[in-house]
Amino acid sequence: MTEKQDTITLLAIESSCDDTAAAVIRNCKILANIVSSQEIHKEYGGVIPELAGRAHQQHILPVVKKALKEAGIEAKDLDGIAYTQGPGLMGSLLVGGHFTKGMCMALNIPSIGVNHLQAHVAAHYLNESMPNFPFLCLLVSGGHTQIIKVKAPLDMEIIGSTIDDAAGEAFDKTAKMLGLPYPGGPLIDQYAELGNPLAYQFPIARIEGYGYSFSGLKTSLLYFLQKGVKEDPDFIAKNLNDICASMRYTIVKTLLDKFEKAVKEADVKEIGIAGGVSANKLLRKEFEKLAAKNGWKAFIPKFEYCTDNAAMIAVVGHYKFLAGESTPLSALPFAR
Ligand code: KG4
Ligand code: ZN
């Protein structure tokens, strides 16, 4: 890294799960943000790790080329490459990690390993108006549900976590039980808009502290559906909108009741939400309402920065590069 430079241009690569993504960032401004989502998993009702790794291999070069082209940048203009080091599927992470290593070796520039969850939170720094520190962030993705205290751009403390399923998993498993394709979250959201959220009552897990649990909800839905289908084989089709609306209502209420308690106890006035599930319409609406009710300021990243993308990896890369942090090429390409 040069002593002091006017321009910092980084490429960022995200390949932790089933999206192959690349972004280019210059001085903390996103110049390109390309995401290639793998359709192959739809028919299986979930991500198949082996297929995901193979698809990343096919997509990574075209995605990176497209990002550089769209940004009007040549590889030789890059000062470093940020990449997702974990958490994620090992085969998927290996593709992004090795690709980064190879490019960094060829260009003689540093690689910067980034934590995927930290990046979801850092998506806030790409908004025109970003929260002041400290703020509390509700991170809701397909694999994680956490309450995080953000003290500085890269100084984050996890104060609560799910003890079993993540919120995204709760949506995806609901969809699977209803016979909907993966990923089910966006579909449940769509059907829920047309249904009655109070049509059916599902349980809200009461977990101590700032923890969450969604596995009981899943089991309760299973028994509810079994009973309904026994009485009427068309039960799901006839009541799809109401079931989706009631499940969505329960998941959102579970998330926000606990988050409200955490924010009050942390005594902060600014709150954020991050991760794929933050694309959920009801969650976004209720999150804003919660802030208004308590006099807090609410921040939600732009829609394209909520689900998996490389722009969020790029912004963490930018802050790490500024701090002189890099990951030795001898390091494992995935976090243990
Ligand atoms: O953050 P993300 O893209 O990937 C992970 O890091 O896991 O989150 C993906 C999750 C999936 O479970 C997907 O169903 C969920 O986000 N999701 C939604 C919505 N859009 C995506 N869940 C509920 N409502 C949505 N609109
Ligand atoms: Zn994610």
Q: What is the pLDDT of residue 336?
A: 54
- CB of 165 within 6 A of ligand 1: the answer is no
- CB of 88 within 6 A of ligand 1: the answer is no
Q: Give the 3-state secondary structure of 60-75.
A: HHHHHHHHHHHHCCCH
- CB of 139 within 6 A of ligand 1: the answer is no
Mean of pLDDT over the chain: 93
**Ligand 1 centroid from CA 231, angstroms:** 32
Q: What is the pLDDT of residue 165?
A: 94
**Ligand 2 centroid from CA 120, angstroms:** 6
Q: What percent of the residues of the chain are helix, what percent strand, and what percent coil, each to the nearest 5?
A: 50, 20, 30
- CB of 186 within 6 A of ligand 1: the answer is yes
Ligand nearest to the CA of residue 166, numbered in listed order: 1
**Ligand 2 centroid from CA 154, angstroms:** 17
Helices (H), 109-158: 116-122
Protein residue whose Cα sits closest to atom 24 of ligand 1: 280
Q: What is the pLDDT of residue 47?
A: 81
- CB of 307 within 6 A of ligand 1: the answer is yes
**195 close to 242: Cβ distance less than 8 angstroms:** yes
**Ligand 2 centroid from CA 33, angstroms:** 15
Ligand nearest to the CA of residue 119, numbered in listed order: 2
Integer Cα distance of 62 and 52 in angstroms: 16
Give pLDDT < 50 ranges for the chain.
Answer: 1-2
CA dihedral 279, 282, 288, 293 (to 10 degrees): -160
* DSSP structural state of residue 213: -
Integer Cα distance of 199 and 254 in angstroms: 17
**Ligand 1 centroid from CA 140, angstroms:** 8
Q: What is the pLDDT of residue 36?
A: 85
Which part of the chain has CATH 3.30.420.40? 3-121+307-322, 131-300
Cβ neighbour number for residue 128 with a 10 Å cutoff: 5
**Ligand 2 centroid from CA 226, angstroms:** 32
**Ligand 2 centroid from CA 308, angstroms:** 5
Q: What is the pLDDT of residue 257?
A: 96
The whole-model pTM stands at 0.92
- CB of 317 within 6 A of ligand 1: the answer is no
CA–CA distance from 220 to each of 38, 170, 214, 216, 304 (Å)? 31, 12, 10, 6, 33
Ligand nearest to the CA of residue 306, numbered in listed order: 1
CATH architecture assigned to 131-300: 2-Layer Sandwich (3.30)
**Ligand 2 centroid from CA 68, angstroms:** 23
The CATH number given to 3-121+307-322 is 3.30.420.40
The pick from 33, 121, 141 for probing ligand 1's pocket by mutation, whose C-beta has the most ligand atoms within 8 angstroms, reads: 141
Q: What is the pLDDT of residue 161?
A: 95
Residue with token string 């839905």? 221
The pick from 169, 176, 307, 312 for probing ligand 1's pocket by mutation, whose C-beta has the most ligand atoms within 8 angstroms, reads: 307
- CB of 185 within 6 A of ligand 1: the answer is yes
- Ligand 1 atom closest to 172 (CA): 14
